[in-house]
């Protein structure tokens, strides 16, 4: 296990280098969050229809989306992309490690470290700094201890799901020559279907079954709604189940594609 721990530690160290960027990123996100909230406040004030999410829930949702933004699989792992591009990936087979497992571990580190580093300050800002300055615009505490506990479980599930998605994306690099374009697409689709752009409950009714079936819902939308109580704690178990089922499916698909891809590369002769 220590090999994987080393990977996580190395990532943390690399992240500390970006001091200006870290602060800048936080500032940008807080601003972005406030702007979105301002717009939604205006829309809710002007709306006479009933909505599936109350304003406080939507506000909390937005903060959570910003805090866990990095769970969205925006980009490939550059190192892996490079390995595949140059064909060096076949050398990985000479090492006594399960390649898919290594990549998954990398993806977990890649998703956990930055997310936690962004999440903790965002929580501080959204829960402690914003409410006294702008009442009602902050992130409210979860409605119960159970809700919070379930959210933690959902968060872990989201990390795993995100890692599985990322790893699958990395595996598909073996087929696309220009990997970046595909990742961009997955990234923007994931952000929309994951509820980053707008909470899924606000989508038109006909779209909802489709949206909730997709894996992306489990990345941001479902966990965030567990936190705010929009999804009651009792039903949160379904969220975790949803995440795990998709994670398992994506891992299975990823493993299978990887073995096919490696065989293909080996045949082509790197």
Partner 1 sequence: MPFRRFHPFHVGTFRFARALLRTNLRSALALRGSFWLQATFMILNNVTFFVFWWILFARVPTLRGVRLPDMEVLFGVTAASIGLVHTLAGGVRHLSRFIDEGELDTLLAQPQPVLLYALGMRSQPSGLGDLASGIGFLALSGQVTLSNLPLAALAVLTAALVFLGCGVAFFSLAFWLPRTEMLSRQLWELTVTFSLYPEPLFGGVLKLLLFTLLPAGFMGFLPLRVIRAATLGDVVLLALGAASYLAFGAWFFGRGLKRYASGSRFGVFG
Partner 2 sequence: MQIVVDNLVKTFRVAERDPGMLGSVRGLMRRRQRDVKALAGVSFSVRAGELVGYIGPNGAGKSTTIKILAGILVPDGGRVEVEGRAPWKQRIAHVSRIGVVFGQRTQLWWDLPVVESLEMLRHIYRVPLDQFRAARDELVALLELGGILDTPVRQLSLGQRMRADLAASLVHAPSILFLDEPTIGLDAVSKLAVRAFVQRLNRERGVTVILTTHDMDDIETLCQRVIVISEGAILSDGSLADLRNRVTRERWLTVDVDDGSAEAITDSHATVIRRDGNRVCLAFDPQVVSPAELIRRVASAHSIKDLFVENPPIETVIARLYGSVS
Other C-beta atoms lying within 10 Å of the C-beta of residue 30: 18
Calpha distance 1→194 (Å, rounded): 31
Compute how many residues bind partner 2; rule: CB under 8 A. 4
Calpha distance 213→151 (Å, rounded): 20
> Within positions 18 to 47, which residues make up the interface with partner 2, using CB under 8 A?
19
**In 3-state terms, what secondary structure has residue 10?**
helix
- 16 binds partner 2, rule: CB under 8 A: yes
Tell me the window of 9-17, 114-122, 136-144, 256-264 that interacts with partner 2 (CB under 8 A). 9-17
Location of structure tokens 């509820």? 195
- 181 binds partner 1, rule: CB under 8 A: yes
Tell me the window of 16-24, 60-68, 113-121, 194-202 that interacts with partner 2 (CB under 8 A). 16-24
Partner from partner 2, partner 1, none binding residue 13, C-beta < 5-8 Å depending on class: partner 2
Please state whether 125 falls in left (phi above 0), alpha (psi between -120 and 50) or beta: alpha
Please state whether 95 falls in left (phi above 0), alpha (psi between -120 and 50) or beta: beta
Rule CB under 8 A: choose which of 1, 16, 133, 177 binds partner 1: 177
- Residues in contact with 83: Cβ distance below 8 Å, sequence separation at least 6, in sequence order: 89, 92
Binding site for partner 1 (CB under 8 A): 17-18, 20-21, 24-25, 28, 31-32, 35, 38-40, 42-43, 46-47, 49, 51, 177-178, 180-182, 184-185, 188-189, 191-192, 197-198, 202-204
Binding site for partner 2 (CB under 8 A): 13, 16-17, 19
């Amino acid at each position: 296990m220590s090999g994987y721990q080393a990977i996580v530690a190395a990532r943390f160290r690399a992240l500390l280098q970006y001091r200006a960027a870290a602060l800048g990123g936080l500032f940008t996100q807080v601003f972005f969050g406030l702007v979105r909230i301002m717009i939604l406040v205006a829309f809710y004030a002007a709306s006479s229809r009933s909505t599936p999410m109350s304003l406080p829930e939507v506000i909390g949702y937005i903060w959570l989306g910003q805090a866990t933004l990095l769970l969205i699989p925006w980009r490939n792992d550059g190192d892996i992309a490079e390995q595949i591009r140059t064909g060096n990936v076949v050398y990985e087979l000479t090492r006594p490690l399960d390649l898919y497992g290594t990549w998954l571990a990398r993806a977990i580190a890649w998703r956990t470290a930055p997310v936690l580093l962004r999440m903790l300050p965002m929580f501080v800002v959204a829960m402690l700094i914003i409410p006294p300055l702008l009442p009602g615009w902050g992130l409210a505490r979860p409605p119960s201890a159970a809700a919070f506990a379930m959210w933690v479980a959902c968060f872990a599930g989201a990390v795993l799901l995100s890692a599985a998605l990322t790893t699958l994306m990395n595996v598909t690099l073996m087929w696309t020559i220009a990997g970046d374009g595909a990742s961009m697409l997955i990234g923007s689709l994931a952000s929309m279907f994951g509820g980053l752009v707008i909470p899924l409950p606000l989508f038109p009714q006909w779209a909802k079954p489709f949206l909730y079936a997709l894996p992306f819902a489990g990345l941001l939308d479902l966990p965030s709604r567990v936190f705010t109580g929009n999804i009651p704690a009792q039903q949160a178990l379904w969220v975790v189940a949803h995440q795990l089922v998709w994670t398992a499916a994506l891992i299975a698909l990823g493993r299978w594609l990887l073995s096919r891809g490696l065989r293909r590369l080996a045949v082509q002769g790197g």
